[in-house]
Amino acid sequence: MSRSYAIIGAGALGCYYGSRLEKAGCAVHYLMRSDYPYVSKHGLRVESMHGEVVLNTPSVYDDMAALPPCDVALVTMKSTSNAALPALLPPALKDDGVVLVLQNGLGVERQAAGIVGEERVIGGLCFLCSNRIGPGHVRQTRVDRLMLGEFATRGVSPRMRTIGADFERGQVTVSLSEDIGLARWQKLVWNVPYNGLCAVLDADTTMIMSNPATASLVVDLMHEVTSAAEAVGGYRIGESFVQKMLDDTAGMDAYQPSMLIDRREGRPMEVEAIHGEPVRSAEAAGYPVPKMRMLYEQLCLVDRLCD
């Protein structure tokens, strides 16, 4: 049976995954704001490492009331917009539908769980380099991995396998995590130092790593994150994982993380989900994270100044 998907927040991430699901033969409906007038007339173009997808007549909406209830609702908007979820999620879902939260940070599934129930929420982590380069035009250049995990339970559920198979038919590399909490802390090993330092210093990853002082600070922050993960959840993230994050970054071009792009474009940054929540969780567990705390407080100031 072909499943239907609602894309809640059809920016670069949502449009990219929507296009892959359409390639897999799924029915996809996009809730779109700024690009709606253009895409409704001219269609959607997605360039990627898998080739180009042109959707001449995608199912796009600027009104949630018009979007049909779907089997799966993908939350792909930034966590800074989550206050809108109570109005968006219930009409997006069939009675037995599930929510897949594809957002950065820690604890981002909780708000969706409070609206539709914990048992109807799956968490997802995206490892993807994609950008919106014009109205209705998205470009994905490298890395295309998606990790799924149940929010309320551990283990790999049948519905995770089913949804994962849809993405795999669209050529997305999918892994199924038995513990989404561990996966989120692992992603924070990269996101905390690079998203945070790039946004505070208005610098890309190459600039950060070419300076010995900031390169050293990246490593220190990564180690604080791994120690916090063990203090909070008992998760052991080894040194080999830290080294892999450093090696992966070294293999990138001068990459601009999402928080740096948000700062430069004058949008709210995902400070609380990516930095505030890990800091508060670590400190509540009795583990001080001074460098993470300092970076978080700097980001709060930058975010206010850019507002």
Residue 284 has what DSSP assignment? H
The answer to whether residue 244 is catalytic is: no
Helix (H) or strand (E) holding 127, with range, is strand 121-134
What number of other Cβ atoms are within 10 A of residue 268's Cβ? 17
Residue 300 CA to residue 22 CA, distance in Å, equals 38
**DSSP string computed for 13-34:** HHHHHHHHHHHTT-EEEEE-ST
CB 148 within 8 A of CB 176: yes
Residue 218 CA to residue 193 CA, distance in Å, equals 5
- 74, burial (CB in 10 Å: exposed 0-12, middle 13-18, buried 19+): buried
Residue 159 CA to residue 49 CA, distance in Å, equals 27
| Residue matched to tokens 């820690």 | 106
Q: What is the dihedral of CA 58, 60, 66, 72, to 10 degrees?
A: 80
Tokens for 134, please give them: 């014009």
Catalytic residue (one of 23, 78, 187, 291): 187
C-alpha to C-alpha distances, 107 to 199, 216, 280, nearest whole angstrom: 22, 28, 11
- 216, burial (CB in 10 Å: exposed 0-12, middle 13-18, buried 19+): exposed
Q: Which residues are catalytic?
A: 187
